Structure 1
């Protein structure tokens, strides 16, 4: 099994040293970047499997860096920040982050978040549906391709996992907790803001009219349902 490579982006050299020592001690390969600009320069050469990105950096901040990363790649991004408001979390997720971890954090929590971000949905006979086809939506789960409303659509890994799970359970309500744990892992369940952001992003990408969705429906006080 290959070792996952993690890009740690933080302007504080002490934090980078501690993070590197900890992650290397848990069998990850680590590369470092001091600024958002350095991170963007390193991405095409180092090709990391995951980015740990500080939200509050001088120059190009964490959100701007995250948007730039997401515009060109679907590498998982975890935002690290001392801010703990729902507004800040939603802003990070809207920028394309896969997860948000508040400082200070325990190393076991961070490692669990990293494992969840690196996890990919299984494929094959036991890995859920192979595809879905409707009038304006075609999904090939094996090839990880989505075509909606006459154009190819690019989904982030978490968006793709969420869509796969909803399609696999088409026709029945999927609760908030069930969906969070299916996509992010068993340590999740109390992060409804994650679902709001990712569902809105999915609707914008696959629905002809996101404000009146045809496929991803809200089940009030329960969760969501895929109408296939």
Structure 2
């Protein structure tokens, strides 16, 4: 055996290893980058179909829901599913899928419905403009401080989830911030935010003994900005 062939190559003769490529920013299913500080946690599939139309095809809504759940469980046993029926007034006009999305308060459908309202109604309610960092109440800009807006935005982007006080403090303030509140004094900041929301103060709900939550409200419009998805869609 040739001893030279068995020798390891000199380090200088080995090809240089390429530097690891930087990890791309998380993207949505459509290839659009997610808003900073967010991540996909699931998805919503809206189905426009009434019982009469389903019966014509020889099925029912329950049968379809069960079939979709089985498919999801087969693809990913760890997935959790939740189904709800969209109820709408009888003889509601428009496509079934649009009626369903609006009935279930899907953000895009709600925003479009608000834009289609007569001009004299457009200024009523609350506009939380994520893209421009502002809140407009009944047509007037609310004088929120930077931290007050960040607090509201944090809750809005996690709609329907109760956020405990410690998470709010840890996420919105640095440990060395001079004005960083404690778990108890975060309530003061929430109280100031609510006072500036006026008659809409209840959009920030208190979950006793736990923390705070933002729930979708008929008088609230969320604007995420051009091309930015809502936090519950990707």
TM-score using structure 1 length: 0.38
Higher strand share: 1
Larger Rg: 2
Greater length-normalized contact order (CA 8 Å, ≥ 6 residues apart): 2
